[in-house]
Amino acid sequence: MSVVLRRSFRYLPVVLILAVAACGKSQQQAGGFHGFPPAAVTVQKVEPQTFPVSFEYVGQTQGSKDVEVRARVTGIIEKRLYQEGSFVKAGQPLFIIDARPYQAQVNAANADLARAQAQKAQADRELARLKPLAERKAIGQKEADDAASNADFAAAAVKSAQAKLAELNLNLGYTKVLAPISGLSSRAQKSEGSLATQNETLLTTISQIDPIWIVFNVSENEQLRLNRAVTNGQLTLPRDNAYDVTVKLSDGSTFPKQGKINFADTRVNPTTGTYEMRAEIPNADGALKPGQFVRVILRGASRVDVLAVPQVAVLDGPQGKFVYVAGKKDGKDVAMPRPVVVGDWVAANGTNEWVIDSGLKPGDPVIVNGVAKLMPGGPINIGAEPAAGAAPATPAQDPPGTAQAKDAPAPAKNGAAPPKEGDAAAKSPATSPPSKQ
């Protein structure tokens, strides 16, 4: 190999390095960032808006009346007269307890009553015979007084026998166990041949399911936070807890009938740290059964003058949630990350939006499209700017479901607002607790 050729190979790496450096320099001069062209984005200036918000909780159904059917006399259960789990009407016979001992007692009481009535009749006749004699002084006054007293004793004995007979007839009637209310029956707790003890043995239960109740809880922390929002004028709630209540079933379907709040506790449960609330739902067709787990959605509240950005604009980073805001650097448009604290997830303007509790101010240009290609401080090419609150071009994702029931939300006092799930980590759309007014 010639000396010239060896020298050419010797300087080849240097030439390649200079060529690559020149190429990179030319790309940076062309406006790129680490070799990438400016990302095409759309920005939206955030402005205060008023949004309707809903609060969603996990609840459990229960009968509006749950009655324990117990034996009212002691005896052996002879028959079960109803189909377990079926609908029963008030007054319908459910069980028969052996009535023969009570029938015998009634017969004896009838005999005692007849004896007392006969004794009263005798005493009355004796008094009637002696009364004229006493008036003519033909007999002593003591004899006349004794006759009057015997007549009074006989009348009292009749009343006592009548009361005893009524009691025994009542017990005899209790041998036929009747349904106290109309509703869904449960399984029989005792079978035929078992001994039922008066006022102790539970025979079955009956639940009235029209209307049906749904009990749910609001956490104390959420209630306090919503109370502050109401005090600061950032949240308005319907008066007297007049929410429109919607029920979502476990398969994701929505129950066709709406209800109302009929109870909101003013006390915090010391065990769970929550307030208890209860919704009442019409259930004439019996579609809802006691014991079901459902989601209760309360509508009627509004977020007032809050900032919100489309869901697609909010990203998760190592330090929490953030958005990209269009800024200027060396006279060029760049994407600047801005940490934010998010609140409720609201559905508005045809998209899902995060309410921003802190981190943004009115007029900030938030990047709502093209965020997937952005890098902190990277150059951007800003396109058309949508009006505040307009839906971004990128389709919004459906709000994720709440992974688990928030601890019992509870209503707050004095117009407290329904609490919400405002965690920076996974939030579900308007999953906040309601408040008490």
Distance CA 329, CA 45 (A): 19
Mean pLDDT of 228-244: 91
Task: Please check the confidence at residue 152 and state whether its pLDDT lies above 70.
Answer: yes
Task: Please check the confidence at residue 314 and state whether its pLDDT lies above 80.
Answer: yes
Largest pairwise CA distance in the chain:
176
Structure confidence by residue, pLDDT tens digits, 42-67: 999 999 988 888 899 999 999 999 99
Fill in the DSSP letter of residue 266: S
Which tops the pLDDT comparison, 429 or 169? 169
Q: What is the pLDDT of residue 347?
A: 75
Mean pLDDT of 126-132: 91
Q: What is the pLDDT of residue 385?
A: 56
pLDDT class of 373 with cuts at 50, 70, 90 = confident
Write the burial class of residue 70 (CB in 10 Å: 0-12 exposed, 13-18 middle, 19+ buried): middle
In sequence order, what are the residues at sequence separation of 6 or more whose Cβ sits closer than 8 angstroms to the Cβ of residue 91? Answer: 178, 179
Mean pLDDT of 413-429: 38
Distance CA 184, CA 84 (A): 9
> What is the reported pTM?
0.67
Q: What domains can you pick out in the chain, each with its CATH number?
A: 45-60+212-382 (2.40.30.170), 72-97+176-200 (2.40.50.100), 100-174 (1.10.287)
Mean pLDDT of 11-30: 43
- Determine what percent of the chain is predicted with pLDDT higher than 70: 79
Mean confidence (pLDDT) of the chain: 83
Distance CA 94, CA 331 (A): 86
Q: What is the pLDDT of residue 306?
A: 87
Mean pLDDT of 80-105: 96
Distance CA 170, CA 435 (A): 49
Residue 4 CB: number of other CB atoms within 10 A? 7
Identify which of 356, 362, 353, 340 has the alpha carbon closest to the alpha carbon of residue 389. 353
DSSP readout, 160-171?
HHHHHHHHHHHH
Task: Please check the confidence at residue 431 and state whether its pLDDT lies above 70.
Answer: no
Distance CA 352, CA 308 (A): 10
